[in-house]
């Protein structure tokens, strides 16, 4: 069956941070001897130029500038990146441009400049409003700076902004987690990312694990937090994402709906559908800044075809993160596979009450969301 083209997005990775957080397993590097902003921007745009043949004139509907901490770049630098992108690839008129930012004072003062440069949405890495927790998490801002950054974002001519918040923090109790969440809600962001701290391999926390709350406390935090969010008009649309009506992150929706995206910058991942070859391509760029900016090597670290037998798991691993109904037709359109490929797995998932099935849609249930790994295993 012929593959169809989904929407196309662009991810831009800026790998530098002021300091590396102990929980972070992203491709980020602490600033030691200054940031080669202009040099890196030139490489980002050259990287994009090399990828353009993969998308054959398609237009992008969203950009996400992630890191690292993209707000270590100047507003002028972000403007150069966005202008360079628009010179090279068509963009939709209503394109969402999200930029991750830290709420430290210097970054907050730059927010208006980023908006003038073309950013339409901020994702602000608050993580907690409690001083002891911010220290434990290695954050360089304090609660007052986080509140000030959120208020500034609210006052700017943005389409939306997101506050990023963690729960299940070291020695955190239910009251502490809910107090953090209530503080975030009081700042009235259109979107909240609220997710549990996990200990990832190859992080400082993995080598020196903090004392995390017991499972019963984590469950109480999640249930009471969800009720609090719903009470204030936030609807959960993804495992850790909550939004007011119409304020979902369009870039992330494209990821979870198995859309396409170019990835440029250190370690950036991409997914591109190539119908003419009946192919889905995964790309990964060179991870370390020094290697990435070595022009003798090019930017691509690896290119890999997603084999037909792997596409069902990939599709549902993304699609079942979303709590919205999944159109059944999307599976065939975006994987190029007949429904018979997965009919037995769908029947078993329905029998186990992990999903419900109608003539047109699959819908993950509360049980399916809770036992997501069990559900996804059916499609391996």
Q: What is the pLDDT of residue 108?
A: 72
Q: What is the pLDDT of residue 264?
A: 98
Cα 246 to Cα 191: distance, rounded to the nearest angstrom = 10
State the burial class of residue 148 (Cβ atoms within 10 Å of its Cβ: 0-12, 13-18, 19+): middle
Range 8-254: architecture per CATH:
Alpha-Beta Barrel (3.20)
Cα 216 to Cα 175: distance, rounded to the nearest angstrom = 14
Cα 147 to Cα 360: distance, rounded to the nearest angstrom = 44
* Binned average pLDDT, 10 residues per bin, the chain of 380 residues: 94 87 69 88 97 95 94 95 98 96 75 94 93 82 89 90 95 96 97 91 78 93 97 96 97 97 97 96 95 86 96 97 97 97 98 98 95 96
Which is nearest to 54 in space by CA: 330, 305, 288? 305
Listing DSSP states for 171-238 in one string gives T--HHHHHHHHHHHHHT--SEEEEEE----TTSHHHHS---PPPHHHHHHHHHHHHHHHHHTT-EEEE
pLDDT tens digits for 30-62?
777 789 999 999 999 999 999 999 999 999 999
Cα 63 to Cα 73: distance, rounded to the nearest angstrom = 16
Number of H helices, E strands in the chain: 15, 17
Q: What is the pLDDT of residue 28?
A: 74
Cα 377 to Cα 380: distance, rounded to the nearest angstrom = 5
Q: What is the pLDDT of residue 255?
A: 97
Q: What is the pLDDT of residue 160?
A: 93
Cα 363 to Cα 357: distance, rounded to the nearest angstrom = 6
Cα 53 to Cα 134: distance, rounded to the nearest angstrom = 44
| Domain edges within the chain | 8-254, 313-380
Cα 150 to Cα 154: distance, rounded to the nearest angstrom = 6
Q: What is the pLDDT of residue 23?
A: 65
What pTM did the predictor assign?
Answer: 0.95
């Amino acid at each position: 069956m012929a593959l169809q083209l989904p929407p196309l997005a662009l991810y831009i990775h800026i790998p530098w941070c002021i300091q590396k957080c102990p929980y972070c397993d992203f491709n980020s590097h602490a600033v030691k001897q200054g940031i080669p902003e202009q040099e890196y921007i030139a490489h980002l745009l050259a990287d994009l130029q090399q990828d353009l043949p993969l998308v054959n004139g398609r237009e992008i509907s969203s950009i996400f500038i992630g890191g690292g901490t993209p707000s270590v770049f100047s507003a002028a630098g972000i403007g150069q990146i966005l202008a360079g992108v628009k010179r090279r690839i068509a963009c939709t008129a209503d394109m969402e441009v999200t930029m991750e930012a830290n709420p430290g004072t210097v970054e907050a003062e730059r927010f208006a400049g980023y908006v003038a440069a073309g950013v339409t949405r901020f994702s602000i890495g608050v993580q907690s409003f409690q001083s002891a927790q911010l220290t434990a998490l290695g954050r360089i801002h304090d609660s007052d700076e986080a509140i000030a950054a959120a208020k500034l974002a609210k006052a700017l001519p943005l389409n939306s902004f997101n506050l990023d918040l963690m729960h299940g923090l070291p020695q955190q109790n239910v009251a502490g987690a809910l107090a953090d969440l209530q503080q975030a809600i009081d700042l009235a962001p259109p979107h909240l990312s609220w997710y549990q701290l996990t200990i990832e391999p190859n992080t400082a926390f993995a080598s020196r694990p903090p004392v995390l709350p017991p499972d019963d406390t984590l469950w109480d935090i999640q249930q009471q937090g969800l009720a609090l969010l719903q009470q204030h008009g936030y609807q959960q649309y993804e495992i850790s994402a909550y939004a007011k009506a119409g304020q979902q992150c369009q870039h992330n929706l494209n990821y979870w709906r198995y859309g396409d995206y170019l990835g440029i910058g250190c370690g950036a991942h991409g997914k591109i559908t190539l119908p003419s070859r009946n192919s889905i391509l995964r790309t990964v760029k060179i991870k370390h800044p020094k290697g990435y900016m070595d022009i003798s090597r090019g930017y691509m670290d690896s290119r890999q075809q997603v084999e037909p037998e792997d596409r069902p798991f990939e599709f549902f691993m993304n699609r079942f993160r979303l709590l919205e109904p999944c159109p059944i037709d999307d599976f065939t359109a975006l994987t190029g596979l007949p429904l018979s490929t997965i009919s037995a797995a769908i029947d078993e998932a329905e029998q186990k009450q992990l999903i419900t099935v109608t003539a047109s849609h699959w819908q993950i249930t509360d049980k399916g969301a809770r036992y997501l790994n069990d559900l996804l295993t059916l499609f391996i």
